[in-house]
Chain A
Amino acid sequence: MFKIFLSIIKRDFKLSYRQGNTNLNIIVFFFLSISLFPLGVGPENELLSKIGPGIVWVSALFSSVLSLDKIFQADYEDGSLEIINLSVIPLEFFVLAKALSYWLTTGLLLVILSPIFGLILSMSSKGILYLTITMLLGTPTLILIGTIGASLAVSLKRGSLLISLLILPLYIPVLIFGVSAIDASINNVSAKPQLLLLGSLLCFSIVLSPIASAAGLRINME
């Protein structure tokens, strides 16, 4: 079963590499949305470093929603999903494989780029370190939660708005703990509780999101 899990990830990697536009769009959107803030609120370093964590997190949140509606859509439309459902791999593992490959091709890039954005927003080195750690813990959670909305809207042609409405409220805890961990580190207070909470949210979403998403996909396959 693990072999099939890996082959789904490998195939999605190839597809993502050959249809690179979507991933590039996400990175460009992330970059543009962060770059626009200094233009809007002014270039004062003190202000930017104060609101920086919030800016990066909100931008990451919107970037991750941007193409989530496509995560299952191609497989749903060409019938691949039905064949996977008839295979030995449970649909829950398929969801997990899709979420992991989506994170590796988009979320991980956001994590790698986040220190650069931290610098653009004049964040301290400690703030940048915690920004990267929280993004590393938070972005997979965002994608896993997003798969629930994507699975429910998979049969809709333009499901991205519905997905946003469904999942943005569920993103709030991740956003709060992510930003709060960075603020704590900047203010020399321990960020351990927030990081532990982000870790628990990730664990919960690894367990629960595939179950909920697989149920959503099964409903749409009827």
Chain B
Amino acid sequence: MKRFTGDLQSCNYEVSESGQGGITLHVQGKMDASNAATMIETFSDLVKDRQPRSLTVDLQKVSYLDDFGALVLVETRKMMSNGKNHFCLQNVNDEASKVLSILHFESLEKGDPFRKKRPPAMLIRLGEATIHHASDLKFLLSFLGSVCLSLLHVCLHPKSLRRDDTFLCMQKTGVDALPIVGLISFLLGLIMAFMSSVQLRQFGADIYVASLVSLSMTRELGPIMTAIIVAGRSGSAFAAEIGTMKISEEIDALFTMGFDPTRFLVIPKIIASIIVVPLLTLFSDVFAIIGGLVVGILTLDLTANAYITQTIKTLTLFDVFLGVFKSGVFALLIAWIGCLRGFQVKGGASSVGQATTSAVVSSIFLIILFNSVFSVILRYWE
């Protein structure tokens, strides 16, 4: 006779031999969640040690049995039937048999609910991916079309623009972003001036620091940095907002109320972005030039007057307009891709997260791509 105690208060058992290699387990006490894990382990060791021909579990003294207890029995039965050996229960009281019957104890077959679906063959996956991307592309095009149509509609009927939403969006995208855009641009101008001054000083070309900072900022870095900040701040917010509206059926509500979701949600965001992002870019240029000016005065012995005169001499109106025009295009891209990703949300919360990530990544990619295109065009145009 052997007793099972362990650190679990509520249960112990006795083993008795019943001849012809069979054993009987007399379980006593509670069989519940608190001791199920230990019991499974102990019984499996017991079965492995003794290799009994048949196993009977006597439940006469079991005071409480729930589905964790039933699990112990199922697991024990499984271990026995692996070796094609006999398993049975005896003295099952009313309450226990009620629990066992609602759990379909007799018919619980083996099976693993965690089995993953087997990945399909490579050709099938290739085909599925192709179809997936094609339908993505189709959605992208139809969304582009619907945005163009809505924009046209708003141009023809300016009153249909949701003005309050647009102003609110201008505030969130533009005004609220000004401090961070200003700070980053200022530091960027500072760094550029500082790094270039080390080189230019060797040639006594200190004054060209002003040209370098102002030209590179207005033409390239200003629009790009501003666009990246806006993509991170607002593009992600557009995707998350629309995505959440999509999963909580708010988009459906708009549709059945007779509103065009694109005109209602997307157009204010696009118009607001196209207005404020170029303005932010101008601010960014100015702050960067101030950053350069600070370095010029403090480390290069330039006068403020000389620095500003050089800056004005370098910059043409075309450079400034080019930067502003580019940032307008970037703004369109950011708002468009942000809203697109929002509308692509399907399912639950994790999909919103994916859409947000994807909105930022795609807009940064598109910003750089379009910037390269502009550079190539300008190279042959000027």
A binds B: no
